[in-house]
């Protein structure tokens, strides 16, 4: 493990005013988004869409890294340029989702454990050769009557630690992504409690496994009320609860913290991040790593008219710019 490389990569990923773009939807997720918009669910259509995302001009002003799916790092543009070479030429870091989805954990309905440790070291060898400098592993937690259970949180934390250590042994910065799902009618206070407890489980396990904390990035959900809660959270409230939680439960020397949008409305995700940057000095770099909140306008436009790639790319870059502004509290 070369801690200088890890630290430098982490710093580059969260350098202000940039954030990370997630385009790592699994084939299943990507297809289901295509299906809803009437786009054929073929490998070629996924390639065509990812080409649009990768070749968007000027996006490198706002985006430091792209998180890709395995299929995408092997694909090329229609005229034969590898996507990875295009990203490298724009000095955008290449990230790779290395978890392999989730399955039910035990018999407690709603608890999920993330899969993907089998053969991970070999896959990282290959991704490193392709040029990946960072990786991502996501675990999901449902807030319900009996979920998430402490056993499930512990088991996911153990997997995070094994994954993160393997990445760091390859000089690849691991993004550790515990996502408390927004689905449900929980209150913001309940979300705070679960998020805090989970972070309190994750960090001691990472540290005792020997994970180098300044060489990881935490990708977290915001502390926010559930989508179907009666009391939807305003940006100032999300900012207050989220910052309080992260300050109390994340080590100050972490490489950086980034947010997923997790099904928030596009502008809601931007306004919430913006509100967090109204506050004075934060202990860690704090920015976005959105998927849907940046891609949605571009995907919708391309689905309606796939011949007008430029129009879709313009929408993509504008969304990246809005979130870049929010990452320094300057979004209006």
> Long-range contact list for 250-253, CB < 8 A, 24+ apart?
250/199, 250/203, 250/218, 250/284, 251/203, 251/213, 252/283, 252/284, 253/213, 253/214
Nearer to ligand 13P, 28 or 281 (CB): 28
Between CA 287 and CA 117 the distance in angstroms is 28
Write down the least CB distance from residue 10 to ligand 13P, Å. 17
Nearer to ligand 13P, 22 or 172 (CB): 22
Active site residue 44: no
Write down the least CB distance from residue 280 to ligand 13P, Å. 27
Of the listed 25, 48, 51, 177, which one is catalytic?
177
Write down the least CB distance from residue 80 to ligand 13P, Å. 28
Please name which of 58, 289, 194 lies closest in space to residue 202, comparing C-alpha atoms: 194
User: Is 178 within 8 Å of 130 (Cβ atoms)?
Assistant: no
Q: How crowded is the C-beta side of 195, counted as CA atoms within 13 Å?
A: 30
Nearer to ligand 13P, 2 or 179 (CB): 179
Nearer to ligand 13P, 261 or 274 (CB): 261
User: Is 134 within 8 Å of 13 (Cβ atoms)?
Assistant: yes
Write down the least CB distance from residue 212 to ligand 13P, Å. 23
Please name which of 326, 317, 318 lies closest in space to residue 59, comparing C-alpha atoms: 317
Write down the least CB distance from residue 4 to ligand 13P, Å. 27
Nearer to ligand 13P, 168 or 296 (CB): 296
Closest residue to ligand 13P, Cβ-based?
Answer: 291
Catalog residues that contact ligand 13P under the rule CB under 6 A: 22, 138, 177, 260-262, 290-293
Write down the least CB distance from residue 9 to ligand 13P, Å. 18
Active site residue 207: no
Nearer to ligand 13P, 245 or 293 (CB): 293
Write down the least CB distance from residue 3 to ligand 13P, Å. 26
Of the listed 18, 112, 136, 219, which one is catalytic?
219
Q: How far apart are the first and last CA of the chain?
A: 42
Name, in order, each residue with C-beta under 8 angstroms of 64's C-beta and a sequence gap of 6 or more.
Answer: 12, 13, 14, 15, 18, 19, 20, 92, 93
Nearer to ligand 13P, 254 or 319 (CB): 319
Catalytic residue numbers?
177, 219
């Amino acid at each position: 493990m070369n801690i200088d490389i890890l630290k430098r990569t982490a710093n580059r990923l969260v350098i202000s005013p940039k954030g990370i773009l997630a385009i790592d939807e699994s084939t299943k997720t990507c297809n289901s988004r295509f299906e809803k918009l009437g786009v054929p669910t073929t490998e070629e259509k996924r390639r065509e869409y990812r080409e649009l995302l990768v070749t968007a001009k000027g996006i490198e002003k706002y985006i430091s890294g792209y998180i890709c799916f395995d299929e995408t790092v092997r694909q090329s543009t229609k005229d034969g340029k590898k996507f990875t070479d295009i990203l490298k030429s724009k000095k955008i870091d290449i990230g790779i989702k290395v978890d392999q989805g989730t399955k039910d954990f035990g018999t407690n309905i709603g608890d999920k454990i993330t899969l993907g440790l089998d053969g991970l070291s070999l896959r990282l060898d290959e991704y490193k050769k392709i040029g990946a400098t960072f990786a991502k592993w996501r675990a999901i937690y449902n807030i319900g009557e009996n979920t998430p259970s402490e056993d499930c949180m512990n088991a996911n934390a153990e997997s995070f630690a094994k994954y993160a250590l393997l990445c760091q042994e390859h000089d690849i910065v691991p993004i550790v992504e515990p996502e408390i799902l927004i689905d449900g009618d929980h209150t913001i206070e309940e979300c705070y409690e679960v998020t805090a407890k989970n972070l309190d489980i994750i960090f001691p396990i990472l540290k005792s496994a020997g994970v180098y904390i300044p060489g990881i990035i935490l990708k977290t959900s915001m502390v926010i009320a559930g989508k179907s809660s009666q009391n939807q959270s305003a940006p100032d409230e999300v900012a207050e609860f989220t910052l309080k939680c992260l300050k109390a439960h994340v080590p100050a020397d972490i490489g950086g913290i980034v947010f997923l949008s997790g099904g928030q409305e596009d502008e809601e995700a931007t306004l919430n991040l913006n509100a967090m940057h109204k506050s004075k000095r934060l202990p860690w770099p704090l920015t976005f790593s959105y998927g849907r909140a940046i891609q949605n306008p571009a995907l919708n436009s391309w689905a309606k008219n796939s011949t007008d790639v430029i129009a879709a790319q313009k929408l993509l870059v504008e969304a990246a710019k809005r979130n870049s502004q929010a990452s320094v509290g300057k979004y209006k």
